[in-house]
Amino acid sequence: MTLPSDNLEVPIPLSTLLGDYPTTHALRTGALKSAALPLVFADVAVPNRAFKRAVRELEFDVTELALMTFLMARSRDVPLYLLPVVVFARNPLPYLVCDRERRLLRPDDLGGCRIGVRAYATTTAVWIRALLRDRFQVAFDDVKWITLEDGHVAGVPDPPSASRAGSSAHLVSMLRDGAVDAAIIDPVPNEPWLAEVVPDPASTYAAWRKQHGARTLNHIVAVRESVARDEPVTRELFRLFTESRDLAGVESRAMPFGLEDNRRNLEAAIAAASAQGLLARELTVAGLVTGALASLT
């Protein structure tokens, strides 16, 4: 798969799964295009609902993925590689909430509690467990995790501390009814009875970032192996994503692109996934990319 010159055939479009975010808006809406590398976007309103298709069926040439999903897949040799592009990053702590009217929980109270979450291995949940252990010494195996579904990557069992709720369960209702003591909810509804478990999530996150020199990346971009090994294609993809980010006025410091600018972020993510038993083998940052992808800046 190579970029065409004037005397070559029209290029084959790349099937693409991508949400509409500030960093991707120009690209996703068609305001930014490449004649050399056309992208055909999947008709999926919420990209994470197609992440299983992306990693289990390898349906897309270019795909947005949750970072922990990507790391779990890469550790199992799923032929997807990292295009070093960050779709979005955020502080995960505000998404851990409790019912203040039933019991206002703080991090020190979480031992033995039941926490509801869509899936045990969601990226937000992995980061929350990592930050709770780092900043408050919460042992995540002491928590009872109540999940609604399995993770995106096939064949990854939940730990013994997790159990599955009924298929019709709803996290907000479970929390309100007392079926769980806290829940990881995204988005968090604007309800007066909901309270953040971490009392000052912004300062807690800032302290973690200062200590580790990293950001908690949430979604990244992955490409199938045939794309990952084609240097002209990867360079054009990287240019498109970079220009889309820049058109939105998003500072590169807030949304870093390139392998070296994300090295500490990726190292922190690998460490968190490894500590929580999510990886089939140890990973390195270098093992996430091909040679064609490693040089993108």
Output the pLDDT for position 5.
41
Query: What residues contact residue 103 under an 8 Å CB cut-off, 6+ apart?
Result: 181
How many angstroms separate the CA atoms of 233 and 227, rounded? 7
pLDDT tens for each residue of the chain, 297 residues long:
545 444 334 578 999 999 999 999 999 999 999 999 999 999 999 999 999 999 999 999 999 999 999 999 999 999 999 999 999 999 999 999 999 999 999 999 999 999 999 999 999 999 999 999 999 999 988 999 999 999 999 989 999 999 999 767 899 999 999 999 999 999 999 999 999 999 999 999 999 999 999 999 999 999 999 999 999 999 999 999 999 999 999 988 889 999 999 999 999 999 999 999 999 999 999 999 999 999 897
Output the pLDDT for position 6.
41
Query: What element of type H or E holds 131?
Result: helix 123-136
Phi/psi at 205 (5° precision): -65, -40
Output the pLDDT for position 252.
87
Output the pLDDT for position 273.
98
**What CATH number matches the domain at 14-90+216-294, 2.40.50.140, 3.60.21.70, 3.30.930.10, 3.40.190.10?**
3.40.190.10
How many angstroms separate the CA atoms of 86 and 206, rounded? 19
How many angstroms separate the CA atoms of 69 and 98, rounded? 26
Phi/psi at 126 (5° precision): -60, -45
Cis, peptide link before residue 192, omega less than 30° from 0: no
Output the pLDDT for position 126.
98
Q: What is the CATH number of domain 93-212?
A: 3.40.190.10
Output the pLDDT for position 166.
74
Task: Give 191-239 pLDDT, tens digit per residue.
Answer: 999 999 999 999 999 999 999 999 999 999 999 999 999 999 999 999 9
Token readout for 212 is 């580790």
Output the pLDDT for position 7.
37
User: Hey, where are the domains in the chain?
Assistant: 14-90+216-294, 93-212
Output the pLDDT for position 8.
38
Query: What element of type H or E holds 247?
Result: helix 231-247
Enter the pTM of the model.
0.94
Is the CB of residue 51 less than 8 Å from the CB of residue 133? no
Phi-psi region of 40 (alpha: psi -120 to 50; beta: other; left: phi over 0): beta
Is the CB of residue 235 less than 8 Å from the CB of residue 258? no
